[in-house]
Amino acid sequence: MHDLLHDISNCTKCLADLPMGANPIVQASSQSKIAIIGQAPGIVVHQSGVPWDDKSGDNLRNWLGVDKEIFYDENIFALIPMGFCYPGSGKSGDLPPMKICTPLWHEKLFQKMPEVELTLLLGKYAQHYYLGKKAKKSLTETVKSFRNYGPAFLPLPHPSPRNNIWQSKNPWFKEEVLPFLKSRISELL
């Protein structure tokens, strides 16, 4: 695992396409129990070098019911984005994750993490990649059908504050999904 993480941290495969240069962000251990597959680091995370070190991370930790000490324990949580570097910003937020990272690194990481019992799929990029044709037509439908993907996967919206409107339109998420998520995380801890 050490060598693989070293290779990822030194990756420059898409350097020419990154507005702020390469800075791959990942956390994993061969003992990780829970994998969190996100989108791509935002600018704050790119600058700090710490995964989920932003408001989205605060929301995510709240959803999980864990503090930073537990969240940043790589023997518990593997934090793996679909794109490992900040992709730049577009008109309505960050650009999509670079497509090269997932096929290049994800399988290698999961081969080194035999203890993973739950993979959280945050957002449509992770859901479409990992669920394939089992994903519903929309993120909302996929998340609403969360029980159909267990015990290995649990689809969630991205915890960005931009999704607060989505959450207010979908109260079932806080009523049904978050209690289930917290209970599942508690079981695995």
What is the pLDDT, as a whole number, of residue 17?
86
CA distance 28 to 125: 20
Kindly report the number of other CB atoms within 10 A of residue 74's CB atom: 16
Which DSSP category does 120 fall into? Answer: E
Alpha-carbon distance values, 189 to 9, 68, 83, 148 (Å): 28, 14, 27, 23
What is the pLDDT, as a whole number, of residue 92?
78
What is the pLDDT, as a whole number, of residue 105?
97
CA distance 37 to 25: 12
What is the pLDDT, as a whole number, of residue 134?
97
Q: What is the reported pTM? A: 0.96
What is the pLDDT, as a whole number, of residue 175?
97
What is the pLDDT, as a whole number, of residue 24?
96
Please list the rounded mean pLDDT of every run of 10 residues in the chain (189 residues).
Answer: 96 87 96 97 93 96 98 98 93 88 97 98 97 97 97 96 93 98 97
For the chain, domains (ranges, CATH) are: 2-184 (3.40.470.10)
Q: Which long-range contacts (CB under 8 A, 24 or more apart) does 167-176 make?
A: 170/140, 170/143, 170/144, 172/144, 173/143
